[in-house]
């Protein structure tokens, strides 16, 4: 059997488990997945332990040591998946691997079973051939899709066991379908801002125009917060943002130029942002505040002619390196205080604070990975500033003190989280080749 055939067989088994973490009814399927992974790794020579947290699904920790002097690579992935139902429009059963000449399709085939399995299958092959260059550790969790409240605690508790020289994560998509190393992640948090302008809703005919209206006050506030070009109006919001280098700008302009149809992908008429600043620089290196929800007044059938006395807005903050989440929170509190009239009572709450991450592109591992990617894919490697977050990567830097190699392996049209999630066969083969070269040379 070729390495590809072996991988395909294992993937067929892995995706057959409905390890959906967003709904507790799948707990038995989670158990089966964990047992399958444990057996696969143990029978291949890995020492495997199951870690249990207070509320999270079991975490698999597995290690294979070749020597005391070899460097250690820790590889992170997750076995939980998003829900998938055949009647959501899947062309075939989402939990049965479907393979044709160009595509492999099933729930989890890219996010993240297919990608973590690239490294597991490769490691197993290299162990058999006695060609592994590093001591290897796998950390495979089951709550990536829901947010894992126990992970940081368990990492802290087991920090000696997790000790390594570099972390490798493959959990994303290529950029413009070219090999990609992700070099930064934005941080952020969520915020609820509640305005109260009176004790009760009152008649808009009797009082309208002469008293404060919670909806109007929210709109007035938001118009002071966000400029017409989407930038944020108060200066301190951009405090501690790294100066963007010429090389970064050039790289991001090229990526934006090569990317086709970003607007179409987002389902919008056109892009919007400060003049002359490209898409990847805005989403990767610039902080933003997005209004994610607004609640005020009456919105059921017909009309209620009222002056609403309360309203709230939900805001999602995305921060850029080297900002600290707490500092951004403090500055925003100050801005709210200064821009709320005395007759409005404002209440703020925040959740999910995490700092942005900057990857050390000067590390020898980065250089090796970039060279191998270049060779395997036969094209220049993209350096991508990622707009989203992987809080785990920030925790690793804090707790283990090591850098991360973020190397996505899948096609951009993989439709992760959607129907017919798929991995290009050609890219599967390239991924296996990259993993083999990286872990053996």
- β-pairing, 47-51 vs 59-64, is antiparallel
Report the nearest approach of Zn ion to the CB of residue 111 (Å).
4
Q: Which CB sits closer to Zn ion, 185 or 193?
A: 185
Query: Closest Cα to residue 398, out of 353, 351, 355?
Result: 355
Q: Which helix (H) or strand (E) holds 104?
A: strand 103-105
Beta-ladder partners of 351: 190
Q: Which CB sits closer to Zn ion, 30 or 214?
A: 30
Report the nearest approach of Zn ion to the CB of residue 141 (Å).
12
User: Which residues are near Zn ion by CB under 5 A?
Assistant: 111
Query: Closest Cα to residue 95, out of 157, 201, 11?
Result: 11
Q: Which CB sits closer to Zn ion, 113 or 132?
A: 113
Here the tokens at position 151 are 């992970």
Q: Which CB sits closer to Zn ion, 82 or 240?
A: 82
Query: Closest Cα to residue 293, out of 272, 275, 314?
Result: 314
Report the nearest approach of Zn ion to the CB of residue 188 (Å).
17
Judging by beta carbons within 10 Å of its beta carbon (0-12, 13-18, 19+), is residue 338 exposed, middle or buried?
A: exposed
Report the nearest approach of Zn ion to the CB of residue 82 (Å).
6
Cα of first residue to Cα of last residue in the chain, in angstroms, is 23
SS3 236: helix
Give the DSSP letter string of 27-62.
HHHHHHHHHHHHHHHHTTT-EEEEE--SSSPPEEEE
Q: Which CB sits closer to Zn ion, 57 or 256?
A: 57
Report the nearest approach of Zn ion to the CB of residue 78 (Å).
8
Q: Which CB sits closer to Zn ion, 111 or 403?
A: 111
Report the nearest approach of Zn ion to the CB of residue 424 (Å).
18
Do residues 178 and 376 make contact, with C-beta atoms less than 8 angstroms apart? no
Report the nearest approach of Zn ion to the CB of residue 145 (Å).
5
Report the nearest approach of Zn ion to the CB of residue 116 (Å).
12
Q: How far apart are CA 385 and CA 48, in angstroms?
A: 34
Q: Which CB sits closer to Zn ion, 114 or 187?
A: 114
Q: What are phi and psi of 194, to 5 degrees?
A: -115, 130
Report the nearest approach of Zn ion to the CB of residue 29 (Å).
17
Q: Which CB sits closer to Zn ion, 111 or 331?
A: 111
Q: Which CB sits closer to Zn ion, 327 or 418?
A: 418
Q: Which helix (H) or strand (E) holds 438?
A: helix 425-440
Report the nearest approach of Zn ion to the CB of residue 106 (Å).
14
Q: What's the Cα-to-Cα distance from 86 to each of 19, 83, 92, rounded to whole Å?
A: 16, 10, 7
Q: Which helix (H) or strand (E) holds 225?
A: helix 214-225
Helices (H), 62-198: 113-128, 151-157
Q: Which CB sits closer to Zn ion, 63 or 141?
A: 141
Contacts of 130 (CB under 8 A, 6+ apart): none
Here the tokens at position 214 are 């919670």
Q: Which CB sits closer to Zn ion, 143 or 435?
A: 143
Report the nearest approach of Zn ion to the CB of residue 18 (Å).
15
Do residues 133 and 53 make contact, with C-beta atoms less than 8 angstroms apart? no
Judging by beta carbons within 10 Å of its beta carbon (0-12, 13-18, 19+), is residue 66 exposed, middle or buried?
A: middle
Q: How far apart are CA 297 and CA 304, in angstroms?
A: 8
Residue nearest Zn ion (C-beta atom): 111
């Amino acid at each position: 059997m070729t390495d590809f055939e072996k991988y395909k067989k294992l993937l067929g088994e892995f995706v057959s488990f409905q390890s959906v973490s967003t709904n507790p009814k799948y707990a038995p399927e989670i158990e089966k997945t964990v047992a399958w992974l444990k057996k696969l790794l143990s029978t291949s020579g890995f020492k495997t332990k199951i870690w249990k947290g207070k509320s999270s699904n079991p975490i698999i920790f597995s290690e294979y040591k070749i020597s005391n002097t070899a460097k250690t690579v820790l590889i992170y992935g997750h076995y939980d998946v998003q829900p998938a139902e055949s009647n959501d429009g899947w062309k075939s059963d989402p939990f049965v691997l479907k393979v044709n000449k160009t595509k492999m399709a099933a729930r989890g085939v890219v996010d993240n079973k297919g990608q973590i399995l690239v490294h597991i299958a490769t490691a197993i092959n290299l162990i058999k051939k006695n060609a592994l260059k590093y001591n290897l550790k796998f950390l495979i969790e089951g709550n990536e899709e829901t947010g894992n409240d126990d992970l940081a605690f368990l990492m802290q508790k087991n920090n000696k066991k997790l000790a390594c020289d570099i972390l490798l994560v493959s959990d994303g998509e290529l950029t413009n379908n070219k090999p990609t190393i992700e070099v930064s992640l934005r941080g952020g948090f969520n915020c609820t801002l509640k305005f109260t302008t009176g004790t009760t809703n009152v008649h808009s005919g009797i009082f309208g125009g002469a008293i404060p209206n919670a909806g109007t006050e929210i709109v007035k506030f938001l118009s002071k917060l966000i400029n017409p070009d989407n930038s944020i109006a108060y200066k301190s919001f951009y405090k501690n943002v790294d100066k963007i280098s010429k090389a970064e700008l050039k790289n991001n302009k090229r990526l934006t130029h090569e990317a086709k149809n970003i607007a179409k992908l987002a389902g919008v008429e056109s892009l919007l942002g400060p003049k002359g600043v490209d898409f990847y620089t805005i989403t990767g290196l610039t902080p933003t505040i997005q209004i994610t929800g607004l609640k005020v007044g009456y919105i059921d059938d017909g009309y209620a002619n009222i002056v609403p006395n309360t309203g709230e807005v939900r805001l999602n903050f995305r921060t850029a390196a080297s900002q600290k989440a707490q500092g951004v929170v403090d500055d925003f509190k100050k801005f709210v205080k200064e821009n709320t009239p005395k007759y409005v009572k404002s209440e703020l709450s925040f959740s999910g604070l995490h700092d942005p991450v900057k990857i050390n592109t000067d590390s020898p591992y980065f250089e090796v990975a970039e060279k191998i990617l270049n060779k395997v894919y036969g094209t220049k490697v993209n350096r991508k500033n990622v707009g989203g977050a992987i809080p785990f990567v920030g925790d690793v830097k804090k707790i283990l003190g090591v850098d991360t190699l973020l190397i996505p392996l899948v096609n951009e049209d993989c439709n992760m989280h959607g129907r017919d999630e798929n991995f290009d066969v050609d890219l599967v083969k390239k991924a296996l080749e990259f993993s083999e070269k990286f872990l053996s040379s």
